[in-house]
């Protein structure tokens, strides 16, 4: 490389971003891959909170008040599953947008087209 040679550009692959979005949308993997870090962080926070609340919420309710509190254990479970569902739907919409090349999912965060 000479002094006037521009640095190599590594283009992001559309199919890799689509697979990340389809399989790992609850942790924001496609957005991490594309360089959209704030969007990925939002997906990770909402998805992680949903998973934790859905799994640990009923345990906290049971251990806090004894086994007679099982009627109220459905509230954190439903709320956690709702949060997780929101992120999964968000990821599926991103999957469709990545495959179709719609909106901001035509390019990565640096402005290069997905190949």
**How far apart, in Å, are the Cα atoms of 69 and each of 56, 86, 89, 105?**
15, 28, 32, 46
Query: What is the average pLDDT score of the chain?
Result: 88
Q: Is the pLDDT of residue 57 over 80?
A: no
Q: Name the band, by pLDDT with cuts 50, 70 and 90, for residue 65.
A: low
pLDDT per residue over 71-100, tens digit each? 566 788 889 999 999 999 999 999 999 999
Q: What is the pLDDT of residue 63?
A: 59
CA–CA separation, 14 and 81 (whole Å): 29
pTM for the predicted model, two decimal places: 0.81
CA–CA separation, 40 and 48 (whole Å): 12
């Amino acid at each position: 490389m000479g002094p006037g040679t521009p640095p190599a550009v590594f283009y992001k692959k559309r199919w890799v971003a689509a697979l990340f979005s389809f399989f790992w949308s609850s942790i924001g993997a496609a957005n991490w891959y594309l360089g959209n870090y704030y969007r990925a962080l939002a997906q990770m926070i909402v998805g992680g909170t949903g998973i934790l609340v859905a799994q640990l919420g009923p345990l906290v309710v049971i251990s806090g008040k004894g086994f007679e509190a099982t009627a109220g254990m459905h509230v954190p479970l439903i709320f956690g599953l709702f949060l997780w569902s929101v992120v999964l739907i968000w990821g599926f919409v991103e999957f469709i947008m990545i495959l179709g090349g719609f909106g901001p999912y035509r390019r990565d965060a640096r402005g290069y087209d997905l190949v």
